[in-house]
Amino acid sequence: MTSDTPGMRRFRCRHRVGRGVVSTVLALVALSLALPTVVGGEESPIEFDQISNMFEPVSVPAQRIRELAELVIAICAGIFLVVGVLLTYVIIRFRARPGDEKREPPQVYGSNNLEAAWTIIPVIIVVVLFLATARTINEVELKEPMEGALEVTVVGHRWWWEFEYPEYGIITANELHIPVSTPERPWPTFLWLESQDVVHSFWVPRLAGKTDVVPNRRNTLWIDTAEPGMYLGQCAEYCGTQHAHMLLRVYVHSEEDFDAWVKAQQAPEVVDASVADGRNLFQRTACINCHTLDGTVADGTYGPSLSHLMSRKTIGAGAAFNNAENLRKWVQDPALFKPGVRMPDMKLTSEEVDQLVAYLVTLK
Ligand code: CUA
């Protein structure tokens, strides 16, 4: 027995329009995160359902930042509404009418109440915003690792991420693996952020706020999540040509899965005799000056470590899926996926590329 009045219908309609605008804005934000990964007709390594939505935090710091953002948006929306309503009222109520031309509007001077009001109210608003922000910064910022934290050193390079686990002697690239926190084992991850070259910014929207990665400085960040899964992130500070291809993935594992990952990364490479040609070729070329590969002579640090290469989902910091076909294209011409990439074309013959890739895909 409910029939909508025209006013209610208008309200519903407006409400739907409002939601439509919000979801459109969210979709555009999400799209802007995904677009850089579409490479000249290549299949993007990012599925749309994996897009990182900062409005869906799963980690304590990201949750705190979301709460602060909601408070700031609510206060600002309130101010916008009050100003908008007053402005509309004044424009309509005091509009020029026929016969007004010769008359001056009444001039109001020196109202103490009015002046006190428009001074005190903004000051209160600014103080509230300041205190709320200071509290959030205090909760989110940590200079030293907390008790029992897993420490990882993150090094920003043009254009990839290096992850070092000093405790386990593991160095990997572009895909960070961490354990979940459980009530029995609150095991947060503490990141030391360093840069090898220019300023980058580490940002995994669902896990933590973005933090600049600055040369000659160590910034810090922590993650504490109870939700296993894969979380996408990216460099959020323009750092040169391939800034948009400086993506990263964070894999949050259950404790057992994380231990298994650590064991697999620590295991020595299995030398496969059938790909000895590729292995020899690798050790003869300049690859070894830039890449490290445990168990070989390669100990370069300019490019990502190739140890356990095939345990990674993507190559080129999220530029393409990691598989034999893409590795082949990558070795033959790295600029195909990443124009401006610092890895040179090694001018290998087609047969040599085949040998090399056959070897690389054995690096489990
Ligand atoms: Cu690194 Cu942008």
Q: How far apart are CA 18 and CA 12, in angstroms?
A: 10
Q: Tokens 């964070």 correspond to what residue?
A: 250
Q: Which domains does the chain have, with CATH numbers?
A: 58-97+110-254 (2.60.40.420), 273-360 (2.60.40.420)
Atom 1 of ligand 1 has which residue's CA nearest to it?
200
CA pair distance 316, 245, nearest whole angstrom: 8
Model pLDDT for residues 241-267, shown as the tens digit of each residue:
999 999 999 999 999 999 999 999 999
User: Which one, of 359, 358, 361, 356, lies nearest residue 346 by Cα?
Assistant: 356
How many Å apart are CA 292 and CA 171, to the nearest integer? 9
CA distance 311 to 328: 17
Q: Which residues line ligand 1 (CB under 6 A)?
A: 156, 159, 200, 235, 237-239, 243, 246
**336 Cα distance to chain centroid:** 24
Q: How far apart are CA 240 and CA 100, in angstroms?
A: 61
CA of 247 to the centre of ligand 1 (A): 9
SS3 213: strand
Question: Which 3 state secondary structure label does DSSP give 78?
Answer: helix
DSSP 8-state class, residue 97? -
Q: Residue 227 Cα, ligand 1 centroid: separation in angstroms? A: 27
Six token digits for residue 162: 């290096």
CA–centroid distance, 161 to ligand 1, in Å, is 9
Listing DSSP states for 319-341 in one string gives TEE-SHHHHHHHHH-GGGTSTT-
- Spatial neighbors of 194 by CB under 8 A, at least 6 apart, are 153, 154, 155, 156, 213, 217, 218
Q: What is the pLDDT along the chain (364 residues), one digit of tens a residue?
A: 344 444 444 444 444 444 555 655 665 565 555 444 444 445 566 665 566 788 899 999 999 999 999 999 999 999 999 999 999 999 999 888 887 877 777 888 888 998 999 899 999 999 999 999 999 999 999 889 988 899 999 999 999 999 999 999 999 999 999 999 988 777 789 999 999 999 999 999 999 999 999 999 999 999 999 999 999 999 999 999 999 999 999 999 999 999 999 999 999 888 888 888 889 899 898 889 999 988 888 888 899 999 999 999 999 999 889 999 999 999 999 888 898 899 888 888 999 999 999 999 998 8
The CA 241 to ligand 1 mean position distance, Å, reads: 9
Q: Which atom of ligand 1 is nearest to the CA of 198?
A: 1
Kindly report the CA angle at 30 between 24 and 35, in degrees rounded to 5? 115
